[in-house]
Structure formats: structure tokens, C-alpha cells
């Protein structure tokens, strides 16, 4: 689906998710359909040079020294989906092994 569909973002009013223009641009560039234009093709420095990382100490980031605002509780259970919205975990899967190859 990433290869064929345009990148869309959740409705900020409905889902209470506000994304800055820099964040949206960062995601869109990472998911560029054209690999030659995809952010990161030039290495880590290219990714860290994106405006979304402005004001972040890159060395601390790479060394995992920046505390996170949210750290999910993760279970050892491989089927644990408690960190995902029930709207998505309760829906039926629309991708099967028969049609999964069509998405590539």
C-alpha cells in the first residue's frame, strides 16, 4: 500500500493528533514513491538535516540520551495490541496471503 497509495494523515479534529508541517513533510519524504528522491538515500546526515530535527542535539539523539515524552508498556506477548486504538485492532483484515503479493 505504501508503494501505490498517496500518504494521508489522520484528521486532527477527530483523532486529536496535531502534526506540524515539518513532521508531515518528513513523513512524506521518507515514504517517497521514487527511491531516488526518498529522504535518507544520502545517509543519516541527510535525515538529521531535515527541518523536523531543527533544535535537536543530534549527538544526544543518536546516543539515545534524549528522554521520551511517552514510553509505552510493552508485553512479552507477541500478540499484545494494547498500545493500538481498538478502532483498528477490532477491524477485519482486508489483506490476505492471496492478495498480499499484489501490493508489492
Query: Which residues, at least 6 apart from 11, have a Cβ–Cβ distance to it below 8 Å?
Result: none
Residue 26: pLDDT band by 50, 70, 90 thresholds?
very high
Per-residue pLDDT of 94-103, as tens digits, reads 766 655 555 5
**How confident is the model at residue 102, as a pLDDT?**
56
How far, in Å, CA of 3 to CA of 7, rounded?
10
Of 2, 4, 20, the residue nearest 12 (C-alpha): 20
Per-residue pLDDT of 33-48, as tens digits, reads 999 999 999 999 999 9
**How confident is the model at residue 92, as a pLDDT?**
78
Average pLDDT, whole number, for the chain?
Answer: 85
Per-residue pLDDT, averaged over 68-89, amounts to 84
Q: How many CB atoms lie within 10 A of CB 52?
A: 19
Is-above-0.75 flag for pTM?
no
Query: Which residues, at least 6 apart from 7, have a Cβ–Cβ distance to it below 8 Å?
Result: 27, 28, 31
3-state secondary structure labels for all residues of the chain: CCCCCCCCCCCHHHHCCCCCHHHHHHHHHHCCCCHHHCCCCCCHHHHHCCHHHCCCCHHHHHCCCCCCCCCCCCCCCCCCCCCCCHHHHCCCCCCCCCCHHHHC
Amino acid at each position: 500500500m505504501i508503494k501505490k497509495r498517496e500518504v494521508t494523515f489522520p484528521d486532527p479534529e477527530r483523532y486529536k493528533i496535531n502534526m506540524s508541517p515539518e513532521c508531515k513533510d518528513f513523513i512524506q519524504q521518507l515514504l517517497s514513491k521514487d527511491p531516488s528522491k526518498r529522504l535518507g538515500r544520502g545517509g543519516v546526515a541527510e535525515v538529521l538535516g531535515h527541518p523536523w530535527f531543527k533544535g535537536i542535539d543530534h549527538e544526544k539523539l543518536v546516543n539515545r540520551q534524549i528522554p521520551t515524552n511517552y514510553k509505552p508498556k510493552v508485553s512479552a506477548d507477541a500478540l499484545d495490541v494494547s498500545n493500538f486504538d481498538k478502532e483498528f485492532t477490532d477491524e477485519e483484515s482486508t489483506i490476505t496471503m492471496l492478495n498480499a503479493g499484489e501490493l508489492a
